[in-house]
Amino acid sequence: MIMKGKKGIVLGIANKRSIAYGIANACREQGAEMAITFLNERFEGKLTPIAEDLGCSDRLYPCDVSKAEEIVALRETIAKDMGQIDFIVHSIAFAPKEGLDGRFINIPKDAFDVAMNISVYSLIELARELKPVMSDNASILTLSYYGGEKYIPNYNLMGIAKATLEMTVKYLAEDLGKDGIRVNAISAGPIKTLAAAGIGEFSFILKWNQANAPLKKNVTIHQVGNSGMYLLSDLSSGVTGEIHYVDGGYNVMGMPAVEFDDKGKPSLVWKG
Ligand code: NAP
């Protein structure tokens, strides 16, 4: 039981397809105790059976990360119900629709501000506000995507948010390292979730990744969950500031793979 004795909080479970659910489940399987959060009352009912499933029906807390007072309230509830925590999963992102398709140049400023606030600043704010209830070898994990590193069609505003998030991980890792707290990200391959459904032509991205990743498969929340559990556990006690790819190897590819016929003529492996 790798996570036995560890307690943590998981933010960003919308349903059982959420990456955060995969991570929470892997931690639970390895003996962790946790609390989970919901965005507002509209989502509380949906999360009740999931909390039961994860053994935390009595630790289902509200937290809209765009509201500073809810993060402070979360700290107070954690202090009262759990004492200290050993891990935080930040699996949250949001960008208004107009930031996720169309021409990049047309991204409105208010959409930019909202995406940065919810998808990036919330990580800094959570780390700062929850620090008083974090143990001195705690681990923080967030979720990124390759579109923060290279161009991906329609990822637009979220690409900028993920690039900023990845640098935030590095600066936070340095700052919190002196307190013994580690901060890492997983850059996950594309997975069909609610958040992903907001990205234009997402099914094409899924097919492209499957065809071109070395493992020739898209990753699952179970796979991301196990890697996340490792980064939250003491197995990774020497790892911080990392962006760890769980993407079937897609990020190492400089070109789509080709096959050669008998005459040495190359053709694309992917026939579309
Ligand atoms: P998801 O199931 O839709 O999870 C996104 C979560 O963010 C939801 O639980 C959503 O809550 C929450 N959220 C949005 N705004 C919030 C706010 N203001 N306060 C608190 N929570 C808020 O989708 P997911 O794909 O698992 O996404 C999780 C993370 O993985 C995101 O950072 C995403 O960018 C990243 N990621 C996803 C993929 C992919 O292909 N799916 C790949 C790489 C990285 P509600 O549902 O209640 O609104």
Q: Is 250 a catalytic residue?
A: no
**pLDDT at residue 151 in the model:** 97
Domain-located, residue 241: yes
54-108 tens-digit pLDDT:
999 999 999 999 999 999 999 999 999 999 999 999 999 999 999 998 899 999 9
Q: What is the mean pLDDT of residues 42-48?
A: 90
**pLDDT at residue 271 in the model:** 65
CB-ligand 1 contact for 221 (6 Å cutoff) = no
Domain-located, residue 160: yes
Residue 160, pLDDT > 90, answer yes
Residues with Cβ within 8 Å of residue 150, at least 6 apart in sequence: none
Main-chain dihedrals φ then ψ at residue 224, nearest 5 degrees? -65, -40
Our mutation pick for probing the ligand 1 site, out of 38, 184, 194, 207, counting the most ligand atoms within 8 A of Cβ, is 194
**pLDDT at residue 260 in the model:** 86
Domain-located, residue 272: no
- Helix (H) or strand (E) segment spanning residue 126: helix 122-130
Whether the Cβ atoms of residue 182 and residue 174 lie closer than 8 Å to each other:
no
Instruction: Give the count of domains, the chain.
Output: 1
Our mutation pick for probing the ligand 1 site, out of 92, 157, 191, counting the most ligand atoms within 8 A of Cβ, is 92
Q: What is the mean pLDDT of residues 184-210?
A: 95
Domain-located, residue 204: no
- Please report the atom of ligand 1 found closest to the CA of residue 142: 32
Enclosing domain of residue 161: 7-199+218-251
Parallel/antiparallel/unpaired status of strands 258-260 and 60-62: unpaired
**pLDDT at residue 272 in the model:** 62
18-31 tens-digit pLDDT:
999 999 999 999 99
**pLDDT at residue 114 in the model:** 98
CB-ligand 1 contact for 161 (6 Å cutoff) = no
Domain-located, residue 222: yes
128-158 tens-digit pLDDT:
999 999 999 999 999 999 999 999 999 999 9
Residue of 155, 230, 245, 250 with catalytic role: 155
Residue 12 Cα to ligand 1 middle (Å): 5
**pLDDT at residue 159 in the model:** 98
- What proportion of the chain, given as a percentage, has pLDDT over 70? 99
**pLDDT at residue 44 in the model:** 86
Domain-located, residue 90: yes
**pLDDT at residue 23 in the model:** 98
- What's the chain's average pLDDT? 96
CB-ligand 1 contact for 12 (6 Å cutoff) = yes
Domain-located, residue 176: yes
Whole-angstrom distance, CA of residue 233 vs CA of residue 27: 9
Cα–Cα distances (Å) from 256 to 210, 220, 231, 267, in that order, read: 11, 22, 30, 10
Domain-located, residue 257: no
Residues with Cβ within 8 Å of residue 175, at least 6 apart in sequence: none
What's the CATH number where 81 sits?
3.40.50.720
CB-ligand 1 contact for 185 (6 Å cutoff) = no
Residue 269, pLDDT > 80, answer no
